[in-house]
Amino acid sequence: MVDASAQAVGKREAGYRAADMVADGMVVGLGTGSTVFFAMERLAARIREGLVITGIPTSFQTAIRARGCGIPLATLNDYPVIDLAIDGADQVDPGFALIKGRGAAQTQEKCVAFAAKSLVIVADPSKLTRKLDAVVPIEVLSSAYVPVIRYLKTIGGVPVLREGIKKDGPVITDNGNMVIDCGFGTIGDPTALDIHLSSIPGVVTCGLFTTFADKTTVVVGDSNGCQVLSRNGQFPL
């Protein structure tokens, strides 16, 4: 059982540490999720102290929060190469393969991660795992969700169309698409599965992030502070 209060402290510690990695004049990708909101809270304080940055949001929700924090915003079309992206993850393995997309923003998050020179993943210890085994969110065109679900079953997946909360019907992403949450059990080869899922006609993006490990740093926060992990360093599990 995860202690919710300790988890919140860990998220805040990780978010604040990531925000302190941002230097003046940087263009910064802003991920979607509760841990990144702590990073934006810290960035807002630094902006009040004189920090000058530009943020690239990965969702409508992030854009709304960032504006509330006083963070100036732009798009990837304005800045196709950005200095740093701060984002969260649903799971992180020792090779820094990730599962993302619980907030249904994985498509823009992947675009921002691709554009970033450096990717900082903020997490609490509950997100670390020896093997990825969480469901993989898959963004799919609404006109193709039935054949995609059918195909996922043939390759051993357990797909479920994500339903809205306080909304009748499926979740609709910021891009106007649907989300399929697909279980695969323990994922032996995340890279191969990432490539396979991304090649299915009708799939926009899957929530496996396996191509950014070389530029990724993971910041893990708990009640004792933060650990900054490197890919070739010790994994605290």
**Binding residue numbers for substrate:** 32-35, 87-90, 100-103, 127
CA distance 68 to 131: 37
Contacts of 98 (CB under 8 A, 6+ apart): 89, 90, 91, 92, 121, 208, 209, 210, 212
Residue 153: how many CB atoms within 10 A of its CB? 12
CA distance 113 to 68: 23
CA distance 161 to 178: 8
- Nearest in space to 216 (alpha carbons), one of 139, 120, 89: 120
Residues flagged as binding site: 32-35, 87-90, 100-103, 127
CA distance 88 to 80: 21
Catalytic position from the list 13, 41, 49, 109: 109
For residue 41, indicate whether it is catalytic: no
Q: What is the DSSP string of 163-183?
A: BPSSSSSB-B-TTS-EEEEEE
Within 13 Å, how many C-alpha atoms sit on residue 160's CB side?
Answer: 8
Q: Which positions are annotated as active-site residues?
A: 109
